[in-house]
């Protein structure tokens, strides 16, 4: 399978957005068509999520729909396209950190209609949907991979539009 054929914009995707390490909080991010409805199936307050205004936070629990068992207490950030990072509907699930709760939520999402996001797919979707130009999309990876303040600073400048404006 080629890299381009794996990026299927209509599919809902999920990714762990923070490091799998002991921490107070972690983020699991989802995006794509129907993602809010899919998250509502594993959220303790589905009606509240489906009725939520964009750019709001909701408190609740991620629950296993098979038996109703609670996975973790969470906050959901709800974003609606086209005014989101990817230009699509998105939900950011803020949960407790550490690998066990994060992986439990991520695996539950995969078992309930999401597919794993490919590396860089959120930025790719933002590019395809006109939310980022190529110079800014590439700057995101450069910031993530930076090893010095100098390289981070140059990449942040490109993310802010310095190269795009010069071109």
* pTM to 2 decimal places: 0.89
What is the structure's pLDDT at 10?
78
What tens-digit pLDDT sequence spans the chain (167 residues)? 445 456 677 799 999 999 999 999 999 999 999 999 999 999 999 999 999 999 999 999 999 999 999 999 999 999 999 999 999 999 999 999 999 999 999 999 999 999 999 999 999 999 999 999 888 889 999 999 999 999 899 889 888 877 767 77
What is the structure's pLDDT at 3?
52
- How many Cβ atoms sit within 10 Å of the Cβ of residue 94? 19
> In 3D, which of 88, 158, 96, 156 has the Cα closest to residue 124?
88
Token pair belonging to 51: 């009725």
At residue 96, φ and ψ (nearest 5 deg) are: -70, 145
Say if strands 115-116 and 13-16 run parallel, antiparallel, or are unpaired. parallel
The conformation of residue 80, written as its DSSP 8-state character, comes to -
Local structure of 61: helix, strand or coil: strand
What is the structure's pLDDT at 5?
54
Local structure of 70: helix, strand or coil: strand
**Side by side, which strands form the sheet with 90-96?**
56-63, 70-79, 90-96, 25-31, 13-16, 115-116
Residues 62, 105 contacting (CB under 8 angstroms): yes
Relative orientation angle of helices 149-159 and 134-145, to the nearest 10 degrees: 160
User: Distance of alpha carbon 30 from its chain centroid, rounded?
Assistant: 4
Q: How far apart are CA 162 and CA 158, in angstroms?
A: 5
């Amino acid at each position: 399978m080629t890299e381009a054929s794996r990026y299927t914009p209509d599919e809902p995707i999920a990714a762990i957005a923070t490091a799998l390490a002991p921490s107070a909080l972690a983020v699991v991010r989802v995006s794509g068509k129907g993602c809010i409805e899919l998250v509502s199936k594993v959220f303790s307050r589905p009606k509240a999520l489906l009725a939520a205004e964009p750019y709001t936070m909701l408190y609740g629990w991620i629950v296993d729909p098979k038996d109703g068992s609670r996975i973790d207490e969470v906050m959901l950030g709800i974003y609606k396209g086209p005014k989101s990072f990817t230009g699509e509907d998105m939900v950011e699930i803020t949960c407790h950190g550490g690998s066990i709760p994060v992986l439990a939520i991520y695996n539950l999402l995969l078992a309930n209609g999401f597919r794993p996001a490919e590396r860089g797919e959120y930025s790719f979707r933002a590019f395809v949907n006109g939310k980022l130009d190529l110079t800014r999309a590439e700057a995101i990876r450069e910031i993530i991979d930076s090893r010095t303040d100098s390289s981070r600073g140059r990449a942040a400048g490109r993310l802010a539009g310095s190269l795009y404006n010069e071109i």
